[in-house]
Amino acid sequence: MCNLLGTDRDAGPCDRQTGQCPCLPNVIGQRCDRCAPNHWKIASGLGCEPCACDPDGSLSEQCNEVCAGAGRAAAWGRVNKERSGERVGEMW
């Protein structure tokens, strides 16, 4: 069964031979149930967006792929305020 949040409902049915669901942009998996690496916000129903983590303040480019409020990369020090809050000098 295709994931409702990650499936492109306008693209037609799943592939009869492979069972692959038609995924929205930057959504992956046979059931379209997860974001591509370094993407998040599958819950939007519009596909996944790039994490846009601050390269100077993040430990990696990966962020929480589901929750809009938690779409932040693990960070140290100066961070992207939109994605990682306004804490400075501590890791979370």
Residue bearing the bigger pLDDT, 79 or 32: 32
pLDDT in the model for residue 60? 74
Average confidence (pLDDT) over 5-12: 95
Three-state DSSP state, 31 = coil
Report the domain count for the chain. Answer: 2
pLDDT in the model for residue 66? 57
pLDDT in the model for residue 29? 97
Do 45 and 55 lie in a common domain?
A: no
Half-sphere exposure of 63 (CA within 13 A, CB side): 27
Burial class (CB in 10 A: 0-12, 13-18, 19+), 89: exposed
In terms of residue numbers, what domain contains 79? Answer: 51-84
Question: What's the pLDDT band for 80 if we cut at 50, 70, 90?
Answer: very low
Do 25 and 41 lie in a common domain?
A: yes
Average confidence (pLDDT) over 14-36: 96
Burial class (CB in 10 A: 0-12, 13-18, 19+), 12: exposed
Question: What's the pLDDT band for 74 if we cut at 50, 70, 90?
Answer: low
77 closest CA partner among 65, 66, 88: 88
Do 26 and 1 lie in a common domain?
A: yes
Burial class (CB in 10 A: 0-12, 13-18, 19+), 1: exposed
Average confidence (pLDDT) over 58-63: 74
Do 60 and 15 lie in a common domain?
A: no
| 90 belongs to a structural domain | no
